[in-house]
Amino acid sequence: MAILKVARLGHPVLRRVAEPVPAGEIMRPETQRFIDDMVETMREYDGVGLAAPQVHVSRQIAVLEVESHPRYPDMPKIPLMVIVNPVLTPVGEEAHPDWEGCLSIPEFRGITPRATTVRLEAYGRRGERIELVAKDFFARVLQHETDHLNGKVYVDRMRDLTTLSHLPEWVRYWTRRDEADG
């Protein structure tokens, strides 16, 4: 396995709509190897999700995982999940603002509104169909990663930029934590 280089904001790959992956290609060894590399890269950088364009590959693949996060022990857990060609549909009108960050926009946080509940349709890592309804933090991560596959980043979704903060200032002025967590 390999840790892949993460594309940062300004790289055109982050602004492209990624190519769908034909279902028959998911089980190919090169695709499986790439998924393993994405998982390893996400874990290396303590991400809760990673989309293929973030590692310079314009294909509709994303990985998500929240284990016991060293910096966010209270974060709800999400078991490792691979989604291919995901389609998200908001369920209901409810939206919720909360902080987001992104490995491609390092050292920033911003308040971003997201649909509270979404319906996900996708392929999984073995080409199986996934259909589920996700809520709250899980729904937020799904929306963040699926946005990447459509050339969007969280700052595009911010209603205004007044909360956009560098990490040390975010810790100092926007959180009540005793010590820096970035």
Min. distance of Cβ 18 from Zn ion in angstroms?
13
Q: Which is nearer to Zn ion, 127 or 164 (CB)?
A: 164
Residues numbered 87-146 forming contacts with Zn ion, rule: CB under 5 A: 102
Min. distance of Cβ 144 from Zn ion in angstroms?
6
> Is 145 in the active site?
yes
Structure tokens at 90: 């908001």
| Size of interface with Zn ion, in residues (CB under 5 A) | 1
Min. distance of Cβ 112 from Zn ion in angstroms?
11
Taking CB atoms within 8 Å and a gap of at least 24, the contacts of 42-49 are 44/3, 45/6, 45/103, 46/70, 46/71, 47/103, 48/75, 48/78, 48/141, 49/141, 49/144, 49/145
The answer to whether 138 and 115 have CB atoms below 8 angstroms apart is: no
Residues numbered 50-79 forming contacts with Zn ion, rule: CB under 5 A: none
Residue nearest to Zn ion (CB): 102
Structure tokens at 169: 């200032």
Q: Which is nearer to Zn ion, 102 or 171 (CB)?
A: 102
Q: Which is nearer to Zn ion, 64 or 122 (CB)?
A: 64
How far, CA to CA in Å, does 59 sit from each of 16, 79, 85, 87, 128? 10, 22, 8, 14, 18
Min. distance of Cβ 6 from Zn ion in angstroms?
9
Catalytic residue among 40, 145, 169, 179: 145
Which residues are the active-site residues? 145
Binding site for Zn ion (CB under 5 A): 102
